[in-house]
């Protein structure tokens, strides 16, 4: 039974990895949307015009606290499947995976708006190392979004978890459920764990560098 299960997992690995590709696409798209919109909000927070800065701060915090799982259902139900560009005959499709990415971008928008504003402030003060700490933090948010992208299966996106469900239903054997879901978890871990370790080392090196610069600056002042 164990050998048969392992053979099944091996045979269907390319199919499952294809589903994981959709998870990566969703997370990357959400991260890009979050970076663009969040950067705009972070820039507005630096505005010398207080109403603009205050409004940007409030908006970024509201977006950051939106429940992404509920947003996935909302975007799937409310957004149309295609959009006609005004004044043209062009029709742009809005596939389910993009709707899921749009929903998941809320967390990335909030994180970018909050932390990039801090990074920009540090950069202006000449503390480049502290400002660059935004990078490993953003990458950590990307990995969280990647894991959360498995929720896209509930709105019909053909990603990794959805493909596990497809295989279980097609085989008619519920005994495959636990091995398949465990295998899906291993795929996520195999991708995320090395990146997490690398980010920890990067952040540690940057903090060490920041400490050296701070000590050197204090010594120079003395």
Kindly give the confidence (pLDDT) of every residue in the chain, 222 residues in length, as a single tens digit, with 9 standing for 90 and above: 678 888 889 999 999 999 999 999 999 999 999 999 999 998 888 777 788 888 888 888 888 788 888 889 888 888 888 988 888 888 989 999 999 999 999 989 988 988 898 898 888 888 888 888 899 889 999 999 999 999 999 888 999 999 999 999 988 877 889 999 999 999 999 999 999 999 999 888 888 876 766 555 544 443
Consecutive H or E run containing 91: strand 91-93
Question: Domain limits at 21?
Answer: 2-221
CB atoms within 10 A of CB 144: 16
Length, in residues, of the chain: 222
Q: Please give the Cα distance from 114 to 128 (Å, whole number).
A: 17
Residue 64: CATH number of its domain:
1.10.3720.10
Longest dimension (CA), the chain: 75
The domain total for the chain is 1
Closest CA relative to residue 143, chosen from 83, 195, 220 = 195
Q: pLDDT digit string (tens) for 68-84?
A: 888 898 888 888 889 88
Q: pLDDT digit string (tens) for 130-172?
A: 888 899 889 999 999 999 999 999 888 999 999 999 999 988 8
Closest CA relative to residue 118, chosen from 131, 99, 108 = 131
Q: What is the pTM of this model?
A: 0.88
Q: Please give the Cα distance from 14 to 126 (Å, whole number).
A: 48
């Amino acid at each position: 039974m164990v050998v048969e299960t392992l053979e099944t997992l091996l045979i269907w690995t390319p199919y499952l990895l294809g589903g994981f590709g959709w998870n990566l696409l969703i997370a990357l798209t959400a991260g890009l949307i979050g970076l663009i919109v969040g950067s705009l909000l972070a820039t507005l927070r630096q505005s010398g015009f207080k109403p603009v800065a205050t409004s940007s701060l409030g908006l970024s915090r509201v977006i950051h606290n939106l429940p992404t799982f509920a947003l996935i259902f909302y975007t799937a139900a409310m957004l149309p499947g295609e959009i006609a560009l005004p004044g043209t005959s062009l029709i742009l499709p809005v596939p389910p995976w993009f709707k899921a990415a749009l929903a998941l971008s809320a967390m990335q928008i909030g994180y970018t708006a909050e932390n990039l504003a801090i990074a920009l402030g540090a950069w202006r003060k000449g503390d480049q190392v502290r400002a660059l700490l935004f990078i490993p933090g953003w990458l950590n948010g990307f990995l969280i979004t990647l894991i959360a992208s498995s929720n896209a299966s509930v709105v019909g996106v053909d990603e990794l978890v959805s493909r596990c469900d497809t295989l279980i239903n097609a085989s008619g054997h519920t005994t495959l459920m636990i091995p398949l879901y465990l295998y899906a978890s291993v795929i996520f871990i195999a991708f995320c764990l090395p990146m997490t370790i690398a980010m920890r080392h990067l952040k540690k090196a940057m903090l060490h560098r920041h400490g050296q610069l701070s000590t050197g600056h204090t010594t120079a002042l003395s």
